[in-house]
Amino acid sequence: MRKRKEIFSEEFKLSVLRDYYSNGLSKRGCARKYKLSHASLLYGWIKKYENVVKPLSLPSETFQEDSPMANRNKESYREENAQLKKRVKELEKALSFSRLETEARDLMITRAEEYFNIPIRKKPGAK
């Protein structure tokens, strides 16, 4: 027995699409929110109304003239850049230490397997 096909108004479809684009919901999440029978409805609406709804502008909060980024001078950019470079070097050093530590553990496990003649590592494909 087939379900009866739901009919939605143009206004409802456009409001769902505006909500989808403005809130960043997934297609499935938006379909669940509006209790649509399937996310494929939303796919079809997106394709049908892409030239109507896409030109939505982002909320005005995203860019403000009085934001701290707009009023910065070159010296503050240089200072921040120097701090970021220092942080990158610290993280690279930590990463190299971590890699050495991992390599040492692997070597230790390999030597233990050879010395005690027992398998320590899990075999690939084991259940």
pLDDT tens-digit readout, 75-119: 888 999 999 999 999 999 999 999 999 999 999 999 999 999 988
CA distance 17 to 23: 10
Whole-structure pTM value: 0.40
Burial state string for 82-108 with b = 16 or more CB within 10 A and e = fewer than 16 = eeeeeeeeeeeeeeeeeeeeeeeeeee
Position with higher pLDDT, 105 vs 59: 105
Q: How far is CA 98 from CA 87, 89, 112, in A?
A: 16, 14, 21
Q: 14: closest CA among 47, 57, 59, 52? A: 52
Q: Please report, for the chain, the start and end positions of each structural domain, with discontinuous segments joined by +.
A: 10-57, 83-119
| Interaxial angle between packed helices 10-23 and 39-48, expressed in degrees from 0 to 180 and rounded to the nearest 10 | 100
